[in-house]
Structure formats: structure tokens, C-alpha cells
Structure 1
Amino acid sequence: MTALIYCPFPDAEAAGSAGQALLEEKLIGCINIGGAIHSMFCWNGAAGSGDEVPALLKTDASLLEQAIARLEDLHPYEAPAILGWPCVGGAATNRWLGELGKGAQNG
């Protein structure tokens, strides 16, 4: 089964750096880095807002928790918003991302 991870970053450079590390560590198969979005949030009891860059990462469900934990380590925010969930993928996507999970089990 495939999985997705959504995570906003302060900029595309930070997203790319984290994504590259996760790709090299074979924890994800792909990262899509979006254009700037404007975020409004509550942090430490105060309202705030700012521009961020969203990222959607694709992995195998067997690697989801490991990928999220590593992303937390790599992320420049003190407490990054990272959301991950298993999902149903097409046959080709399942084969592609499933190879990541096989490598983790065999490697």
C-alpha cells in the first residue's frame, strides 16, 4: 500500500534539502514541492501568518512512520506540521513505491 506525507516548509530550498535526504535514504520515492502558499495559524497561544511552501511526499506505507520521524529530524521548524496517511494507489504506483518497502525489509 502507498502512503502520502504532507508538510509545509519555510521555502523551496528547505523542502528540497529534506526531500533529497529522504530520497537518498530510500524513505520516499518522490517529493512534489509546490509554490508559495499563505498560512494562517495559532502557535504558542498567538495568531500568526506567513508564507510557506507545501510539499507532498510519496512512499510505501511500510515506511510511513520512519519517513515521518526522519522528516521531523531534517525539518528546520521547531515543531513542523507533518501529516501522513496510507492511501490506495494505482497498480503502477503501488509497484514503484512498493520497491521502497521491499528494500527496507531486505536491506
Structure 2
Amino acid sequence: MTDAIVVLCTCPDQTSADLLCEQLLNQQLAACINQLPGITSVYRWQGKVERATEIQLIIKSRQSRFAELQACIQANHPYEVPELLALPVSAGLPAYLDWLNGETA
């Protein structure tokens, strides 16, 4: 097991996705963020089934930075309850993991 994590977060539009990416990268809370535009999310919210087109963010970070990453997302995200899921990385290319650790120091 490594300290690396992959964090999933959706954004409603490109502007909010770009702002969030900039905040996370500038604060060294993420080493890399992929933006996947045009996903469709179907979910229950306040008792109703909703459907939304969103941008999926795939954030590469470290478990040791997660509390700060969470605080940044909560402070800058337009949703009342944003998607925020951290998945552990069990293994990876050592050079990539070294780079990730250096960029999130």
C-alpha cells in the first residue's frame, strides 16, 4: 500500500472544475487532475431522482493531504454536498509515485 490516493469529485460546469483544479494544484494538494467532461450522473437528491451532465475530476493526491484537500473542495465547490470519494492506490510505477509525492509535499 502507498500513501497515494485517487479522489473522485464531480463539478457542474467547466468554470467550477477549472477553479477547483487551480486551487488544488496551487496549494499542492494534488499532483495531477484529469477532467472528463460530459458525464451523466443519475442520483437521488432530496427524495427525487435527478439527472445532470457534469465534469468528473480524477484527482491524484496523498492520504496524508486528504483533510486539507477536503477542506479546499468544501470551501470552493458550488454544490451543497459535493461528491468526494478517496480510493487507495495499492501499487504504482515507482517513478510516478515519487513524482506524485514530490508535487504534493
* TM-score, normalised relative to structure 2: 0.88
Q: CA RMSD in A?
A: 1.3
Structure 2: stretches of 5+ with no match in the other structure: none
Q: How many residues align?
A: 102
- 1:20-45 Cα offsets, whole Å, 9 max, x none, are 01111111111100121111110011
Q: Which is worse superposed, 14-23 or 63-72?
A: 63-72
Distance in 2 separating the partners of 1:32 and 1:43: 26
Partner of 2:42: helix, strand, or coil?
strand
Distance in 1 separating the partners of 2:56 and 2:98: 26
Q: Is the 8 A contact 1:5 1:68 kept in 2?
A: no
Of all paired residues, the percent bearing the same amino acid is 28
Query: Which of 30, 33, 58 is matched with 1:31 structurally?
Result: 33
Residue type of the alignment partner of 2:34: N
Structure 1: stretches of 5+ with no match in the other structure: none
1:82 equivalent in structure 2: 84
4+ residue stretches of structure 1 with deviation over 6 A?
Answer: none
Distance in 2 separating the partners of 1:92 and 1:38: 34
* TM-score, normalised relative to structure 1: 0.86
Q: Is the 8 A contact 2:4 2:62 kept in 1?
A: yes
Distance in 1 separating the partners of 2:88 and 2:47: 31
